[in-house]
Amino acid sequence: MGANKLSKKRGFLKISTCSYFYLSFYFFAIFSSFSCLLQAQSSENNDKLSPLASTIPEEIAPEYPLQPSRGRSKKPKENQSIDATSDQTEIEETTRTAQIVSRRSLQTINFQNVNELSAYQVGINQTQMTGSPQAEPILRGLPATRYRNGMLVGFSRDAQFGPLMNPNMDENLDMVTGPSNIIFGPQELAGGYLNEITKSPHFDRFQGEASYTAGMYGTNFWNLDFGGPIKNNLAYRLDYFGQDGSSYYNYYYGSYLRRESGYIALSYKPYEKLTIDFNGEIDSNSLNPPAGLNRPTQELINNRLYLTGPFAGWFDQNGVFHKGIGTSPPGQGYAVNWGAAVPIDPRTNILNNPIDSTEQFYAVSQLIETLEVSDNFKIINNSLFEYYSTFIDQMIPVDFWAVLPAGYNFDDRIENQWNFSTPIGNLLTHNSIDCGLEFRYFSDNEYSGVWHSPVNTWDLTKPLLDNFFSPIVSYNQALLFGNPYLTDIPVPSYPGFYFNSHNFVSTASTFYKLSPFYQHKIDLSEKCSLIFGGRADFYSVHASSPPGTPLPLFLQNNMTAILPQLSMSLTYDPFSWMNSHFTYFFGQNPFPSAFGSFAPDFSSTYYHLTNQYFEIGTKFNIYKDKVSIDLSGFYQDGFIPAYVLPQGSVATTQAYLKGSQLQAIWTPLHNLSINVGYAFIDAHEDWIGSPIGPLTTQPYPSNIADQFGLRVDPYVFLAPLNYPFIGFPRNYANTVITYQSEKGLGFSLWTIVQSGQFLNYDYTVRIPSWYTLNARIFYTTSKWEISLYFYNFTDEKYWAPGAPGFISARSFNYDFITPQLPFWVQGTLRIFF
């Protein structure tokens, strides 16, 4: 086993070395281009920030929605709450409720984990994702699609599997509710989107900062960020981030997080009307995520009493019981000799095994060119290249592997933006148009398996032994089970890893996408505006089973598809202190494979999943603009395919969500701000009319299996009914209070509140309502800053489900539950230069 572990790491490092070489060459080419361009004479002393800069005005006029230019997002004094587009164009695609989280706000909470964004955005679901790396937040029970300066980060599904977010390279974050906008385009059914606005070069002078953070449970990370002008029209920014320990990982036994990230940004203005911005990043992540405890019961949640008992045996395809270790086919299950319920350490982790690990190597580069042809016409070209290589090894006790030897994503979008006025009778209307074309190329090989994960057969009060895991299924045994696609196939060049074919995730895929789009804003008057737009995604896909698949299990498929998206919004400002909007969106989105591609077993249904969104809202700016209140109501529905086993039944399932949201900001003093948010969300998945209901690994809690002698982890489909979202609170609230004196001493207090949630579809085991109180005390001077953070200082005992809402991993919610961190402390020293 140790040799296998070393072999796979060597293979990963080999890929990483090649990637470093490629990125080094790529950066060299970019630098060479800049060197050549330097020979051109600049007609202007560029004292402006680049389009990647954070430049939201300090005070946003209340009667206007946010209108940042491509990649440009201006810096608020503190977290701003607005009804806005935040879509990185000069035209708002549609008014939405948005949160613009500034760099200062990120430092307030010392942001490192996507779950922490719930301090600013109500509706974010706390989760450990059954131990899968979480690349995106979960918003309203759906993934929040991630973008980088307006371009899709393309290697994730269900907010899982993709590269970890590196917040140290972000200037600020735009968080918008609802589907992705017309300009950006969709990745999947989403509850919102997160657009990262990356750090920009400094043109005024050389400046920088260095910081170090240490704290409880092994927290240990550092950051160096500096930059300045090279010439009056050329500037740079460099950022290095390292980490060797994180409380969110190290609190749990056997979990860890080690990271190294490098970031570079260049901005060049060779001519008065031309701006060229480049940014690149390389991340190397080594981690073993926490997955918490198995066998969740109400007694475990209420009293931390864990139900013990060793593995007893398994049931074959005929329902015959066999003692000892074995693999059971779907629908049969396993047996446990149940014991007593005993106290358990909340730091216990089901992935506490040296065999388990996850490695990620991610490289990205982005080039944005902006040409101002005239005062009314602008051309913007935004190009993004990504390389991603990763593996996930969770053999003990989950029997799960995911491998992406190498994935490539190239995306280029050209936009034409212009403004003009048109007389309509006696009415003079102002028009803003953003239209263009986007091209995307994506290619990867993905391996994922295995389908048998009898998590509840393991007793976490005993050592997790290598020889206790569910045995690999051969082709002959799969034939006995009546399904040859249950065969576990070795992953080439990754000894000890296995995958399955025809499981809707394993693939060797290449696709091309061409996307024309058009967006038009008409100011009918000073008080009323109409915004409408459309987009069409033309897909050409070739997908087959990945290399190493035996011929009898090999699949391939070619698919072409056209996916439309339409949007319309109407805004009305009856008073200077009041802005109202109505929004409608209709579109189709695909359902990607694990790493963002398409599998050969996808039917056309997977490419034409309809979703729609309605929102109506009003924003008030009152009391001399010191109080801002956003009120909105929404409805969203959409379809995703059902979670299926290899060669399983395929069905699409509708989810619908409805609710209301309030966000308020009060600034009674220039150095005191109070942010308050609340959301009520009622969400359901509707299986009525489907041949099957949702898949669940175990339809009842383990104490019921003990009480009635039921089988463990039988993998069954439930009845096709209407089910409220599981692992999903209906009520969310947050508050952030920040004060800083003229002398530099300050504090922040923030709280996060979520109501109770049921774990699974029988709605018998419930996580109670919970809250956390958190604080930061800091002192700032012109040369340095010191901060002390106190998290959950009332030591609230609360839990996170395996997966929330409409995330596929919710099927395992009676296999995973994670106690969250108790009171803990960390401190940061920041030096400015």
What's residue 641's pLDDT? 76
**CA gap 178, 587 in Å, rounded:** 12
**CA gap 573, 449 in Å, rounded:** 54
**CA gap 118, 766 in Å, rounded:** 21
**CA gap 86, 100 in Å, rounded:** 8
What pLDDT band is residue 52 in, cutting at 50, 70 and 90? very low
Q: Is pLDDT of 308 > 80? A: yes
- Residue 82's nearest CA partner among 53, 57, 104, 60 is 60
Identify whether 294 is part of a domain: yes
Give the model confidence (pLDDT) of 190-248 as tens digits.
999 999 999 999 999 999 999 999 999 999 999 999 999 999 999 999 999 999 999 99
- The domain spanning residue 565 has which CATH number? 2.40.170.20
Identify whether 569 is part of a domain: yes
What's residue 647's pLDDT? 83
Question: Tell me, what amino acid is at 32?
Answer: S
Q: Collapsing DSSP states into helix, strand and coil, what is residue 646?
A: coil
Q: Which two tokens stand for residue 747?
A: 């504090």
Q: Is pLDDT of 6 > 90? A: no
Longest dimension (CA), the chain: 87
Phi first, then psi, for residue 788 (nearest 5°) are -125, 125
The fraction of the chain above a pLDDT of 90, given in percent, is 82
Identify whether 601 is part of a domain: yes
For the ranges 42-46, 135-139, 317-321, the lowest mean pLDDT is seen at 42-46
Q: What is the 3-state secondary structure (H, E, C) of 526-595?
A: CCEEEEEEEEEEEEEEEEECCCCCCHHHCCEEEEEEEEEEEEEEEEEEEECCEEEEEEEEEEEECCCCCC
What's residue 205's pLDDT? 96
Instruction: Write out the residue range of the structural domain in which residue 340 sits.
Output: 86-832
Identify whether 613 is part of a domain: yes
Phi first, then psi, for residue 33 (nearest 5°) are -60, -45
For the ranges 396-400, 558-562, 728-732, the lowest mean pLDDT is seen at 396-400
More confident residue, 828 or 354: 828
Is the pTM of the predicted complex or chain greater than 0.95?
no
Q: How many domains does the chain have?
A: 1
Q: Is pLDDT of 805 > 90? A: yes
Identify whether 407 is part of a domain: yes
More confident residue, 613 or 63: 613
What's residue 464's pLDDT? 85
Tell me the residue ranges of DSSP E strands in 623-713: 627-641, 652-669, 672-686, 695-696
